[in-house]
Amino acid sequence: MTSSGERPLFSGSHFFALVQLLSLPSIQQPVDYSSPDERSERRSLATAHILSTPDWSHSNIKFLKTPSEMNLLLDENSSNGVLFLRGYPSAEWLSHLGRRFDLEYDFLYGHFAQSFQLHVGDDFCFPPLSVHGSDMIQLVFTSIGTAENYNSSASLTEVRRSVNLEMRNYVAEFSKGNLTMGDSVIRDFHLHDLNHFSIEQKISLQLVKGAKVWTLLIWTDCGMGLHKTRSGPLWKMHTVYGPSMTMLPIVSSVKNQAIDRTLDTRNTQGEDGKDALPSEQDIPNVVEPLLHLHKELGISLNSRLAHNDPFYMLDEIFRLFVTSEYQFLNLMHAKVDELAHFDTHRPDSTSELKRIKELVNKHAERIEDLIPVIKARGGDWPRAPGETRSEQKDPTKEYSEQLTVLFDKVLRRARAVSELCQFGISDLGNEMTIREARRSKKQAGVMAKITVVAFVLGCLSFTTSFFGMNFMELDGSKRSIWLWFAVSVPVLLGSWLAWRIDGSKCKNLMVNIKERFAKDQGKDKESRGKDEEIAL
């Protein structure tokens, strides 16, 4: 670390956080709740796609359970490839990955940790990737879930307070290294109402270029499945309301031949020796939409182009990201319409709209940061050669341009939803102002009636008190009670005149009378002067 007056070379607290992480006793084996087959599957943290030939197929997928298997596979193959890392890692895996690929610290720390997770937020030195110029690409996928009648006896505020507490406890366990290797990781959890929630999971992308080949590292938070993770707010909800909870799929457009390849891939033997395509009854409710991404990567792509172009290899992931963002923004749009509708006005509508606007703006910022990356196509990443030598244009440029259009479109969608939030907030504010004005007008009418009553009673109270005084003139007199009415009526009329007469109007009236009188005097003098001239 350096003093405040010097330019620091690195954030010492960041490196200390990584050293602390690597020093933690990693839980290499799952706990006893899982079966032997499940334990074998959980240990498979990495999936390798070997792009040995331009016409590579998914038969070249290898599931790696130990770092030694990874090193052996990479030593035996001298071709381009993709290494897919899933879920929560171990210190052993991080050490081998860093040493094998000479990974920059930003990739390990940027994916694994956040400032609030490793308690380095006091330094305010955790910039976004777009600021410090890292060649790492990071996507935050948002998955939507539903839970019917979740904790219906409690209010939304109470449920959110409980869920936020579970999330803080989960983050604490995450930073202490108490998760199991291969567990799916949740970066953030949002409860939008008592029926809809969303989770955020990160995918980090890094290209490692060698002398002749390249390896594309894809590290996703989606591990062995959220239904197998025994911690966090989602697990807390699932333990109580599991049957009614489900994660919505990310529906994307797939060509017919890609569908056939997907079914073939899922029907082949999985990494655990079982059928990779379970029956409908065996599919868990709480499962990430990206659970099969590590096995289905590149199914709909042109294999010849993907063999030489790592950025084109990510085309499916980018399109899935855009689809997930559209799905999230559609949910937010529906919530805005519900909250901004006057017939269903709730006291917390304005605060909810502000919360949605802040969340949508965060997504819009992420999308906007990715657009330059898409246009640059990874910067100096390798490109696929043309199909013929005379062909000068890049054959994958068309796909990049299509991605740019998609990202621009989803960014406009995010800004439109944000504007709807602002319009809703303004409309609700105007509606509240109108309601307050009507309420004030109604109260003013009531106060006017009270003032009239007080005016009459005040005058009568004065005259009554006057006649109740022990004056000699009134004592023992035989005067009639009508004398009190004869006195009260003039007093009441005089008070009414005093109430009705406006002081400013009276002042203006006196000024007008004086001016009129002065003009009349001037006219009289002028007429007398003319008469004298005629007489002379």
pLDDT at 354: 92
What is the number of residues in the chain? Answer: 536
pLDDT at 388: 41
pLDDT at 535: 66
pLDDT at 497: 67
How far, in Å, CA of 152 to CA of 103, rounded?
48
Per DSSP, the chain holds a count of helices (H) and strands (E) of 17, 8
C-alpha triplet 234, 244, 182: angle, nearest 5°: 35
pLDDT at 29: 43
Is 525 buried (19+), middle (13-18) or exposed (0-12) by CB count in 10 A?
Answer: exposed
Please name the amino acid found at residue 118.
L
pLDDT at 331: 95
The radius of gyration of the chain's CA atoms, rounded to the nearest angstrom, is 39
Distances, alpha carbon 295 to alpha carbons 61, 260, 280, in Å? 7, 14, 20
pLDDT at 240: 65
pLDDT at 136: 83
* Beta bridge mates, 63: 47
Report domain extents, the chain: 12-262+284-300, 301-384+395-438, 494-522
The pLDDT averaged over each successive group of 10 residues in the chain (536 residues) is: 46 60 55 44 73 68 87 86 87 84 77 57 54 73 81 76 86 77 87 89 89 88 78 73 76 56 52 46 61 80 82 90 94 90 68 92 93 85 62 70 93 95 84 78 75 70 65 57 70 68 69 77 70 66
pTM of the model as a whole = 0.74
pLDDT at 253: 62
pLDDT at 359: 95
| Whether 43 contacts 89, CB under 8 Å | no
Tell me the fold of 301-384+395-438. Answer: Methane Monooxygenase Hydroxylase; Chain G, domain 1 (1.20.58)
pLDDT at 409: 95
